[in-house]
Chain A
Amino acid sequence: MSADLANATTAQDSASPPPLPSVPRPLTSYVSGRMIAVIGVLVAVLAVLTGTSGGKLLSATNLGGALDASSEVGFIAIGVTMLMIGGEFDLSVGQVFVVGGLAFAGLDKHIGFLPAIIVTLLLAGAIGLINGIITVVFGIPSFITTLGTYYAIAGFILLITGASPVSYLPPLPHVFSVFSAHVGGLGFRWEVVWWIGLAAVAAWILHRTSFGNHVFAAGGSPEAARGTGVRVGLTKIVLFVACSALSAFSGIVLFCHLGSMEVTAGSGLQLQAIAAAVIGGTALFGGVGTIFGGVLGSFFLGVLTVGLVLSGASTQYYELFVGIVLIGAVIAQVKTVGASRFVHALFRRNSGR
């Protein structure tokens, strides 16, 4: 500011002893106790399912299959985790996932693989933009905004497709193998590599960029964030766009893998993604969470799916489990933050900017 101000500060700097109190970095800043607990439970569930499946779960093929299954929710969970850290929900991701697969399938034949991906992601981004703008500009809780877009998109999909699935006749285009080919002899597909790669990028953005800092602040205390000049609304809108794009990407990847997309394939995915985030330690009320946790949570769900199938158990148990996890998480968090704070966060209204 003024010259004498600057001088005063420098004079003080040189006068005080070379300050630096050591700033040791505590281990807890890398791995939380909660994460260790989650890993423990994951290992336990893995052990139980290994037993009930007669050891089959531990084969490279089946663990690889579990990883493949994880990536479907996993891509979406990356976006949902970031959005939840930023203090918002997206319930429309299940339908955006279907839109991703369908739009890609329709476009690929006409404009080619890469352009089809790009246009599909732009389309999904536009949906995210709409979610974000309705939520931020009109101050509507995202819980409600995205439930609305969920049904609107579902209706739109049925109108366009007449409810019939979209499929390619085999053989699938060779280029699809960038996602669907198996990696070496490892039992899992390249989609898993893409998933982990994107998760690493997201984690880097979240923890190592200003934008990431603003995401945590927007979810932790929007008032304090605004007070220091963080553009909370804009930050959230970007998150909605990223979340939609990741969901559509998951749909694209699934289409490349299976060569078809059912119009109902996305129902329930939104809650699975939230469950994955929550299992990994992401708070339902914003400000707390890690991408690593979301990846771990997704893997947990993937292992569960494959493990139940191998154990000959009904896959309905999976839905039962997701439901229990969500209710359990709500109870746990209501107990720690209080019901009123929780309801407040769930129905938080955003003021502009």
Chain B
Amino acid sequence: MCRYCVEYGGGTKWYLNPDNYRDELYTSGAHEATVKMLSGVQKNSFDVGAMSIADESAPDLYSTDSLSVGMEQMIGHGGQVVPLEDALKIIDLCREPFLLMHCACRRYFGKTDILRCLYLWPQVIETALKERPWEKDSRILSKEEAKEFEIDCDKKGFLHSIWHAAVDTDGILPMVMCHCTATDCIPTKFRVSYGVINAQRKGEYVAEVDLAKCKEGCKEYPACMHRCQFGAMRYSPVERVMYIDPQACFGCGLCRPACPYGAIKLVDRSSYPSLVDNW
């Protein structure tokens, strides 16, 4: 359980707490400001704008805590990795329809345009369609379609992350689910290149390998390794097994379905005492 869950989880994870999906939050104080900026005409100025000042706001790569504070307190937006099963639970907690739109991180850094940002609140659709008429490629998804989309992303190796619209004393509003790779995703780059923790926090899980199964499995070329965006997988050609470093693992679960021998599972991050403050 991360500190967000302790404060705002109501006994579960913050993003699985139905309390955080209350309609009042959508129009209350800190949340409303972020929601407005992300759903309306200010979207690109807001999220690409936050990226544009990264170099100035993180002058020291080894002390980027102030940028984490900035993400949460000023920008009012931050992400956390979730595995497929939690992504599906999030969809279940929401009302349909969902808005699936282009991925700003890819588009605005010259990469291939794909639809990868899934907005959770039906209210977003209205604002987005009204204020951003040039985004003609967006799609409106039903609950079923949104779940299919999540499953498809998982197959293709896009990690799911849940993004909040501000942390305030009344809760944390889950706003959008992104489907990224560390190669393209700006917040994930902020995490891996700049060390900004609140840009993309680790998930509530870590992956574990059943070494006995693994030893009998691939033997030569590990079939799971290419799925890890975080360099948490280390293969020993001597033992012929995969080791996953719990300190490096983000708990995305993408390696799991890639193992033909069912040797990988996700366990709760809290099963490792040393990970209690490693997010």
A-B interaction: no
Which residues from chain A sit less than 8 Å from chain B, CB to CB?
none
Which residues from chain B sit less than 8 Å from chain A, CB to CB?
none
